[in-house]
Structure 1
Amino acid sequence: MNLSTILLTVYVLVWPVIVAGTLTVIVRAFFADWRQARREGRPII
């Protein structure tokens, strides 16, 4: 395997990690806002 193949493999495999991290941040923020809205007795929308 040459270097370009290894770099391309790493590049392709890093995307799911980035997407999973971003989705985790969004989901955690959503649930934090949801819990706060429930505590305050107001709708989230």
Structure 2
Amino acid sequence: MSFNLSQQEAQSTSSLQEIRATRLAKVEELKKLGLIPYAYQ
């Protein structure tokens, strides 16, 4: 699972926080399904 970011987004702290929150939400979703995301180890 990869996220494509523009340079502007990558430099914006608020965008990074949103991306982290999105990743966390996806990780929690996968955990509920009984899966361990590859990057989450």
TM-score (norm 2): 0.57
Gaps of 5+ in 1: 1-14
Runs of 4+, deviation exceeding 3 Å: none
Q: Percent identity?
A: 14
Question: What TM-score do you get using the length of structure 1 for normalisation?
Answer: 0.53
Question: For the aligned residues, what is the CA RMSD?
Answer: 1.9
How many pairs align? 29
More helix by share: 1
Which structure: larger Rg? 1
Q: What is the aligned partner in structure 1 of residue 5 from structure 2?
A: none
In structure 2, the gaps of 5 or more residues are 1-7
